[in-house]
Structure 1
Amino acid sequence: MTAALELAGLQQCRGEVTLPGSKSIANRALLMAALCQQGQQTRLTNVLRSDDTERMLEALTALGIAVGIDVKAGTTVTITGCGGHWQQVPSELQLGNAGTAIRPLTAVLSATLNDQTCVLTGNERMQERPLAALTDCLSAAGATIHYLSNEGYPPVQLAGGLQAGHLSIDGSASSQYISALLMALPLLAGDSILQLEGKVVSWPYIELTVAMLERFGIRVHQIGGQEFMIPGNQVYCSPGEYWIEGDASAASYWLAAGVLGGGPLRIHGIGQASIQGDLAFAGYLSGMGGNLQVDERFIDVQGGQLQAIDADLNAIPDAAMTFATLALFAQGTTHIRNIANWRIKETDRLHAMATELRKTGAVVEEFADSIRITPPVAIEHAAIATYDDHRMAMCFALLGFAPAGVRIIDPDCCSKTYPDFFREFNRLCR
């Protein structure tokens, strides 16, 4: 375990880096593969091996799914489908702090459990992350759900019972709730209408889910701006092999480092062919003055002179965090808007980001759903608390390009999604 990491005096970032597989895609693909027809196998390649995906793999194994991991290529995983008929149902699934595991499993198990009960729980932070928007929707549609501690939060006990019909959910908190329902509703006996209420956040992640469902043979019809029709009695079908593209959120750190460090830096695993909305980060960074070239499956970056950004980044909340630290190197005041859902992530990211940025001498204004950052004349050295949040650690690594440097406390929290991040950062940045 590394208690803290000092980074200072970095002047260049050059070479080539291959992104780990996307966490969002990996956990969706693992569950979809498990739901494929009985006995069908799906070979998933470039699977991210991190805390979050390990929690999903452990959960599927506990549910009786046959999981094969290639000994030589640990990122290749073969899943044998069960057709939604679990071989066994454990009394409890421990899901750590993996939102991309607990949310879809809550919906899918509500659709597939028959007279069985299973408790979904997680670590201390997970038990502070709200689940009510999803569970209220499921309960209204017949699912049997009991909170075991605090109302609206894990741990929850599920007992199935979800029925097809007209469902309505508040889309203003997390798109993961909507993705979870889109994965579960095709398994029901009848057709369903899913109505999204309020201003939907992170819409690209919903589009990602729909695109992935199509690859696994599931049809979802968008019949209005915020309304879907999901035919029932559908069967997940294995695509045979499924490549997990690189993590577009993780790409943001390298794109930023390539600008600050001059490049040339080539980032493999993400590009024009990506189905991830966080690819939009590259467009915003170009607009700030970054020199980027986006190919089909890689991006080249080579320096740039940065101007501040003022933008609504609701669609890319994870990647948007990188702009908060990049703001310290830009001319002018940066305003990142419509990011209220930062508050229900691994930590309250709005408050955490504001608190840590102020340590550098920046003038930071924290609002209910936005943050405004004016950089200091000279960035001051700071010991950055990471709040057991992988993205806080990776964002603040960029301060290594400031003459005063930075001290990252608990850099190992990156194991949640990118265990090798700082090893790669030290390799490429000098």
Structure 2
Amino acid sequence: MIEIKPVDKINATVRVPGSKSYTNRALITALLANGESVVKNALLSEDTRVMISCLGELGIQIEVIAEENRLIVKGCGGKIPVERAGLFARNAGTVVRFMTAALTLGNGQYEIDGIERMRQRPIQQLIDALNKLGANVVSRDGNGCPPVLINAAGLRGGTVEIPGNISSQYISAILLAAPYADSDVRIVVIDELASKNYVDMTIDVMNRFGVVVERDSYKEFIIKSGGGYKGCEFMVEPDASGASYFFAAAAITGGKVRVEGLGDRSLQGDTKFVDILSKMGCSMKKSRDWLEVEGGELSGIDIDMNDTPDVVQTLAPVAVFAKGKTRIRNVRNLRFKETDRITAIVNELKKAGVETREFEDGIEIVPSPPHSAEISTYNDHRMAMSFALLGLRTKGIKIKNPECVEKTFPDFFERLQKLYH
């Protein structure tokens, strides 16, 4: 357990680790690519190390140069080297989903499992979609969740319809594997696509590895067969979700924080968090190379966060110190993350004395002075990092199981501590 000390106005320039989303997408693409790839500024955290371990289990040569955050991957040219493997993905959703699709390109039998929470996270829609494209994938226990069994003999290709309202990672997983299908792959998205920016990031990574995706906005994607990824040097952007905690710290304390290396051209949807804070009363500045937030008089907001679900938890402590209610809408998919994040936010805010209401697709926060509390994190890295922000203006906020930040931001609390100086 760690106790957060209140602080006066923060004035800091910070750098945050590389993006988990970009790192794991680059690793899957480098795995399948022809030739050697170098991933620079890679995030080395629990989730990415799980992906790195899985590549090794599949017979891929990968060199980790930890002191330089650099990874060197010798790709397999779309042909999985081993015919049997049992992969353990812990609670890394990107690993389970991306690997499930990639392994359909192999020739053999593979199993992907995870911790107990991962065995509760749905994947049936991805399984159904891959099977319509000619794969043979099943949920081992027949409940639509991992463990996943892949009896691989390549991916036929064709057209598949897939709902977009649960997880954009299903679409991303198919996109990443599609260049190696026997025929063209056409993905038709039913309903509104959640977390659109993550699909944009996937397509960006594919482009940088030499594959072009034809698209009709977020309704249809076509990937031509017969191409494939070419090994390259890939620079990973700083993580916008990780940066959000420091922008929120500026908002909560009335201070100023600049995050370097993350600019206004980023495709990461969570860079929109600075725009959300601006609507609440903060000042912001943007450039190609940095983003900056300066706190102001905060007002509550009514907002649809379907495209920015990973910063919903970051917004919650900011809303606590605003004037007027904050209503967060259209984030039902948060119930299928590392924990049911909607219920978790409500539970822990109430524990700290904040009036909060839970809805099926979101929450409402009524500002009120929080009091000391021991915050449960549900083994969810974002619960630990976001609720630590409450402690910047509230005495006695203690975070249980702070080690869970290893998933995406191993030295988060050390970096937070540096803001005090």
TM-score grouping bracket, smaller chain normalisation: over 0.9
Residues 244-294 of structure 1: CA distance to partner in whole angstroms, max 9, x if unpaired?
001111111000102223433221231112121111111111111112211
* 3-state secondary structure, aligned to 2:255: strand
Aligned position for 2:62? 67
Out of 372, 391, 398, which is 1:407 matched to?
A: 398
Question: What is the aligned partner in structure 1 of residue 372 from structure 2?
Answer: 381
Q: Distance in 2 between matches of 1:36 and 1:276?
A: 23
Partner residue of 1:393?
A: 384
Aligned ranges for residues 169-180 of structure 1 at < 5 Å? 169-180=162-173
Amino acid across the alignment from 2:125: A
Matched, 1:91 2:85: yes
Match of residue 187 from structure 2? 194
| Displacement of 1:304 | 1.5
Letter in 2 for 1:355: N
Of residues 333, 354, 378 in structure 2, which corresponds to 1:362? 354
Q: Residue type matched to 1:386 in 2?
A: T
Residue 106 of structure 1: aligned partner = 100
RMSD of aligned C-alpha atoms? 1.4
1:320 Cα offset (Å): 2.1
Greater RCO structure (CA 8 Å; 6+ sep): 1
Query: Which amino acid is 2:23 matched to?
Result: A
TM-superposed deviation, 1:12: 2.8
Q: Sequence identity, in percent?
A: 40
2:271 to 279, 283, 299: 279
SS in 2 for 1:190: coil
Task: Describe the shift of the 1:423–1:150 C-alpha distance in structure 2 as closer, same or farther (beyond 3 A).
Answer: farther
Equivalent residue number for residue 227 of structure 2: 234
* Equivalent pair of 1:261/1:429 in contact (CA under 8 Å): no
- 2:37 matches 1:42: yes
2:420 maps to 1:429: yes
What pairs up with 1:222-371 in 2 under 5 angstroms?
Answer: 222-223=215-216, 225-238=218-231, 240-371=232-363
- Code of the residue aligned with 1:241 in structure 2: it is E
CA apart distance, 1:236: 0.3
Find the counterpart in structure 2 of residue 9 from structure 1.
6
1:417 aligns with 2:408: yes
- 1:225 shift after superposition: 4.6
Tell me the amino acid that sits aligned with residue 47 of structure 1.
A
Q: For 1:413 and 1:60, how far apart are their aligned partners in 2?
A: 23
CA 1:368–1:17 in structure 2 vs 1: closer, same or farther (change >3 Å)? same
**Quick one: which of 201, 205, 208 aligns to 2:201?**
208
**Structure 2: stretches of 5+ with no match in the other structure:** none
Q: Deviations over 1:233-252 (max 9, x none)?
A: 121012x3111001111111
1:107 is displaced (CA, Å) by 0.8
Write the distance in 1 (CA, Å) between the matches of 2:241 and 2:383: 12
Given the two structures, how large is their TM-score scaled by the length of structure 2?
0.97
Residues 394-403 or 418-427, more deviating: 394-403
The answer to whether the 8 Å contact 1:19/1:251 transfers is yes
Question: Is 2:364 the partner of 1:372?
Answer: yes
Q: Secondary structure at the match of 2:390?
A: helix
- Cα distance in structure 1, aligned partners of 2:67 and 2:163: 44
C-alpha distance after superposition, 1:284-311 (max 9, x if no partner): 1111111221121212233221111111
SS at match of 1:91: strand
Contact 1:9 1:403 in 2 (8 A): yes
TM value normalised by structure 1: 0.95
CA change 1:225–1:243 in 2 (3 A) is closer
The 1:207/1:362 distance shift into structure 2, 3 A limit, reads: same
Q: Contact 2:127–2:138 at 8 Å: present in 1 too? A: no
Quote the Cα distance in structure 1 between the aligned partners of 2:156 and 2:57. 25
**TM superposition outliers: structure 1 runs of 4+ over 6 Å:** none
